[in-house]
Structure 1
Amino acid sequence: MDWEWLKEFARGMIKPVAALAVVLMAMLLSYLQRLGLEGEMIYSIFRSFLQLSIIGFVLQFIFNQSSSIWIVVAYLFMVSVAGYTAGQRAKHVPRGKYVAGASILAGTAVTMFLLILLNVFPFTPRYIIPVAGMMVGNAMTVTGVTMKRLRDDIKIQITLVETALALGATPRQATMQQVKRSLVIALSPVLDNAKTVGLISLPGAMTGLIMGGASPLEAIQLQIVVMNMLIGASTVSSIMSTYMSWPSFFTKAYQLQTKVFISD
């Protein structure tokens, strides 16, 4: 059996292990300030090391496969984990995990389809999986915030919503302002990041390319594509999540489901 890949991996881990020095510094500061975060730091670093190592081997395996089915499997796995995580954030939204998962799937799939159709990225694991990971991660955050904020806003203004319903408004009309507010709040960080990209910090994709030897001009071309796709996927996913959350907030008689807004 050829163990050359394992030797190469071990040699490559020298610098990551050396970088643990800054974590030790953080642990020392936590100890001196009596924050009690030393154990949490150790756990976080160990978990990130384990997860990234496993993912590295999995991606190495997928990249060496000729079948495109592995791209789909990896993508659906990421969407499933993201849907569960976003659903946990919006835990008071009925079927929140399924709503989040379906919303993330819709937003990222539509965006990815357009990028492939326009020949922005080739349909290969080396391109699609990292790109999908960035989109799914961003859509996960936005979707979770949208769903949680929408439910919380309706709860805060429940009297206003019920009054609108009593006057004959549809659920969409009665909650239009709450929906708009939740979408604006959820999407604002993505838009702010696009406005300040390159001015405050260099994004991960751009930094990775530059450190990998690519020219800054090539790096910014990819980063522009990344920012565009993040805005597209996040917007579609967040809007989809509001439409899919509505049925669980109202009865068939256009009345609020009181039990959804009781617990905290």
Structure 2
Amino acid sequence: MACVNASTLLVLGPNAWFLLAVMLLLAAVVWRWALGRSPFQLVTAGARALAQLSAVALIIAWLSQHTALSFSFVAFMFVMAVWTSGHRVAPSGRWWMAAIPLAAAVAPMAALMFAFGVLPFNALAIIAVLGQQIGGAMSAVTLSGRRIRDELHLRHGETEAAVALGFRWPTARFMVGLPVAGEAVLPAVDQTRTAGLVTLPGAFVGMILGGAAPLDAGMIQLLVLISLLFVNSTAAAMTLWLSTLAAWDRPRSVAV
């Protein structure tokens, strides 16, 4: 009987590298011919992911021996998340405002996890958990910010009508943006609701394959999923608040 490799979920080797190229090519083809986008966007994204993950793996291996410096790496991830989401929401505006919803979402949850002793002062744990939270907040800011921005543009007449009736601009924008702001949190809600039924989260599977007790692996994954519900909800709420104040726009004659 062939020996089964129990140390990893996927079999790595030359075939894995060839499969990566095939998958990226197929994705680029669909991106171009079905969605009308430039295939170079996906090819560039794949190449960047390869280079970045290789570098990050080496950095994290080094940081595992320097716990205090792990916060510097987390700060770098935060800056990159601000840059990424900010330029998606306000490419020609105040993109740096994305730091507000990101910080408001991640900082309180990180503080709670440290305060309760759930998140240990360990470099790998800090980078893994806070990295997931920053990534979740980044996605929420991007999705909610773009969705609110488009809704305010499409329904600008309703906003003006509300102002004409006596509402202030922030209130009028809030009434238009509120129904769509929460849509950015739905993926996290669905992932939490269907955990163990539709998908097995990667951290859960990885811990079990690494030898952790199933109940311990489940509890850790549950902590991550629930924390992301708070992080994503807070990020979307703060993004809505910034949008109602027109805070993403560069200074100009905007009534507030």
Q: What is the TM-score normalised by the length of structure 2?
A: 0.81
The residue type equivalent to 1:52 in the other structure is L
Q: 1:102 aligns with which of 100, 115, 125?
A: 100
Q: Between 157-166 and 118-127, report the one with greater CA deviation.
A: 118-127
- Unaligned ranges ≥5, structure 1: 1-13, 257-264
Aligned to 1:48: 49
Q: Contact (CA 8 Å) 1:63, 1:126: kept in 2 or not?
A: yes
Counterpart Cα distance in 2 of 1:255 and 1:244: 15
Report the CA distance shift for 1:246/1:43 in structure 2 as closer, same or farther (over 3 A).
closer
- Unaligned ranges ≥5, structure 2: 1-10
Aligned to 2:209: 211
Q: Contact (CA 8 Å) 1:146, 1:183: kept in 2 or not?
A: yes
Aligned to 1:122: 120
The residue type equivalent to 2:255 in the other structure is Q
The residue type equivalent to 1:163 in the other structure is A
The residue type equivalent to 1:203 in the other structure is P
SS in 2 for 1:15: coil
The residue type equivalent to 1:15 in the other structure is L
Q: What is the TM-score normalised by the length of structure 1?
A: 0.79
Larger Rg: 1
Report the CA distance shift for 1:118/1:159 in structure 2 as closer, same or farther (over 3 A).
same
TM-aligned CA deviation for residue 15 of structure 1? 2.7
Counterpart Cα distance in 1 of 2:96 and 2:190: 29
Report the CA distance shift for 1:178/1:190 in structure 2 as closer, same or farther (over 3 A).
farther
Residues 1:141 and 2:133 are matched in the alignment: no
Report the CA distance shift for 1:194/1:32 in structure 2 as closer, same or farther (over 3 A).
closer
The number of residue pairs the alignment matches comes to: 239
Aligned to 1:79: 78
Counterpart Cα distance in 2 of 1:174 and 1:253: 17
CA RMSD of aligned residues (A): 3.1
The residue type equivalent to 2:117 in the other structure is N
Q: Contact (CA 8 Å) 1:171, 1:254: kept in 2 or not?
A: no
Can you list the C-alpha shifts for 1:153-207, whole angstroms capped at 9, x where unaligned?
1111111111111222123321233232232211111111111111111111112
Report the CA distance shift for 1:28/1:120 in structure 2 as closer, same or farther (over 3 A).
closer
